[in-house]
Amino acid sequence: MIKYSLVVRMVLALLGSVFFFFLFLWNKDIILRMKKEVLSQKDLLKRDIFDYCKTLLISLVSVYLIVHYIFLPVQVKGTSMYPTLEDKALGISNKIGFTLNGLKRFDIVIIHMDDNNNYLVKRIIGLPGETISYKEDKLYINGEYVEEPFFDESYRASSSHPFTTDFEEITLGENEYYCLGDNRPSSRDSRYYGPFQKEQLSSKGVFIFYPFSKFGVKSW
């Protein structure tokens, strides 16, 4: 499970505001040098306040556009994707890449669940039109065995039971995706909710920046 991270939003907003504030100061300095007339202190104060408010507004709008159309800030909750993603990890997910490049097998995706902004983070296993099943801890797609190279094999081998329990064949409809957590024994996913519709998938991939030991891209 993931949620919008207030910390991530604040960091992005702060960085955006600082960037545009310094941009504003740089531009203001150039304009001042180009001015031929001498302005009164009162006029300078009014102009500075106006320019600062304008820069702040541009910064906030820029951050809003980045957060809603380019990157989705996330905070992982729970261990359903462990060890790929740890509980309480902070990062961003790729919205523009999802739109431009589409989805492929084994992409990590962010799934929108309801109107309360609840999300899941899972991995795509089955694509539209495919028939999916698990037998003896192995993935079969359209009757053929498919390896899952993303697994941490040492963690997988530590399970005293089958890491992925068997289930009968399920054929996906148009725009349906079968998504599972990497930590199969502790994940509520398509085995519980059923296939997810394409319109439920909000973004793909996760870039983790905390914890630092996991820093980097987890499928993009």
Residues 94 and 182 in one domain: yes
Residues 119 and 27 in one domain: no
pLDDT in tens, 140-155: 999 999 999 999 999 9
Residues 38 and 79 in one domain: no
Residue 80 appears among annotated catalytic residues: yes
Residues 52 and 14 in one domain: yes
pLDDT score of 15: 54
What are the residues whose beta carbons fall under 8 Å from the beta carbon of 220, sequence distance 6 or more?
94, 97, 204, 205, 207
Residues 141 and 198 in one domain: yes
pLDDT score of 182: 97
Residues 120 and 14 in one domain: no
pLDDT in tens, 56-73: 888 777 777 666 678 888
Choosing from 59, 93, 122, 187, the catalytic residue is 122
Residues 113 and 13 in one domain: no
Q: Report percent pLDDT > 70 for the chain.
A: 78
Q: Which residues of the chain have pLDDT under 70?
A: 1-42, 65-68, 115, 220
pTM over 0.85: no
Helix H segments across 35-150?
41-69, 95-101
State the residue range of the domain holding 56: 2-69
